[in-house]
Chains A and B, each alone.
Chain A
Amino acid sequence: MKPEEIGIMIVDDESSVRESLAQWFRIDGYRVDMAPDGASALQKLQENPWDIILLDIKMPGMNGIELQNRIKQIDKNIVTIVITAYATVDTAIQALKEGAFDYITKPIDPDDLSRLIKNAVEQRKLVTENIQLRQHIEELLLPDEVVGESPAIKKVMEMVNTVAKTDATVMILGESGTGKELIARAIHSRSARRYCPIITLNCGAYPEGLLESELFGHEKGAFTGAMYRRKGKLEMADKGTLFLDEIGNISGKMQMDLLRVIETRKFTRLGGDKTIDVDFRVISATNKDLEKAIKDESFREDLYYRLNVFSIVLPPLRERRTDIPLIAKYFLNKYAQSMNKNVADFSPQALKMFMGYDWPGNIRELRNVVERAMVVAMGNQLQVDDLSFPFPAPSPSMPSGGESLDDVEKSQIEKILNQTKGNIAQAADILKISRLTLYNKIEKYHLKR
Chain B
Amino acid sequence: MSYIYIVPIELEDHSYLEKLEGFISQTFHRRTIRKVLKIHAKDAFDPNRRQYNSSLILRQLITHPPLNAEKILGVMDVDLFIPILSFVFGEAQLKGIGAVVSTHRLQNRFYGLPENREVATERLFKEAVHELGHTFGLIHCSQPQCVMNSSTYVENIDLKPAAFCPLCQRSIKAEKSSPGNRGFFFPWWGKKT
Contacts and interface: CB of A to CB of B under 8 A. Distances in A.
Interface string A1-26: 00000000000001011011101101
Interface of B: 49, 55, 81-88, 94, 134, 139-140, 150, 152-153, 184-187, 189-192
26 contacts: A16-B83, A16-B84, A20-B83, A20-B84, A20-B187, A23-B184, A23-B186, A24-B85, A26-B94, A26-B186, A27-B139, A27-B150, A27-B187, A28-B140, A28-B150, A104-B84, A106-B83, A107-B86, A108-B86, A109-B86, A110-B87, A110-B190, A110-B191, A111-B191, A113-B84, A113-B85
Contacts of B55: 16, 19-20
B105 to A, nearest CB: 11
Contacts of A14: 83
B185 A19 contact: yes
Contacts of A21: 84
A130 to B, nearest CB: 25
A21 B85 CA distance: 9
A107 B83 contact: yes
A399 interface: no
B37 to A, nearest CB: 23
Given A17-B84, A111-B191, A113-B85, 5 more contacts: A23-B82, A24-B187, A27-B150, A83-B84, A110-B87
Contacts of B189: 110
Interface in A20-54: 20-21, 23-24, 26-29
A161 interface: no
A128 interface: no
A114 interface: yes
A24 B139 CA distance: 10
B185 A110 contact: no
Nearest to B49: A107
Interface in A42-80: none
Contact of A27 (B86, B140, B190, B192): B140
Contact of B185 (A23, A28, A29): A23
Nearest to B189: A110
Interface in A106-148: 106-111, 113-114
Contact of B134 (A24, A27, A83): A27
A109 B186 CA distance: 16
Contacts of A16: 55, 82-84
Nearest to A104: B84
B122 to A, nearest CB: 21
Across the A-B interface, give the 3 residue pairs with the lowest CB-CB distance, nearest first: A110-B189, A111-B152, A111-B191
User: Per DSSP, are chain B's interface residues mostly helix, strand or loop, or mixed?
Assistant: loop
Contact of A23 (B81, B140, B153, B187): B187
A29 B150 CA distance: 12
Nearest to B153: A111
Contacts of B49: 107
Contacts, number: 73
Contacts of B87: 110
B191 A109 contact: yes
Max chain B CB contacts within 10 Å: which of A19, A21, A27?
A: A27
Nearest to A15: B83
A164 to B, nearest CB: 47
A346 to B, nearest CB: 60
Contact of B84 (A26, A29, A107, A111): A107
A110 B85 contact: yes
Nearest to B134: A27
Contacts of A111: 152-153, 191
Interface string A386-419: 0000000000000000000000000000000000
Contacts of B81: 107
B84 A108 contact: yes
Max chain B CB contacts within 10 Å: which of A16, A23, A104, A106?
A: A23
Max chain A CB contacts within 10 Å: which of B82, B84, B187?
A: B84
Max chain A CB contacts within 10 Å: which of B83, B186, B191?
A: B83
Given A26-B94, A26-B139, A20 B82 contact: yes
Nearest to B82: A20
Contacts of B86: 107-110
Contacts of B190: 110
Contacts of B186: 23, 26-27
A360 to B, nearest CB: 67
A26 B82 CA distance: 15
A276 B191 CA distance: 47
Max chain A CB contacts within 10 Å: which of B85, B94, B152?
A: B85
Nearest to A29: B139
Nearest to B185: A23
Contacts of B134: 27
A108 B187 CA distance: 14
B11 to A, nearest CB: 24
Given A20-B85, A107-B81, A109-B85, A26 B187 contact: no
Given A24-B84, A27-B139, A110 B184 contact: no
Contacts of B184: 23, 26
Contacts of A113: 84-85
Contacts of B192: 109
B94 A27 contact: yes
Nearest to B87: A110
Nearest to B51: A107
A114 B185 contact: no
Contacts of B82: 16, 20, 23
Contacts of A20: 55, 82-85, 185, 187
Contacts of B94: 26-27
B97 to A, nearest CB: 16
A109 B81 CA distance: 11
A137 B64 CA distance: 62
A107 B94 CA distance: 23
A118 to B, nearest CB: 10
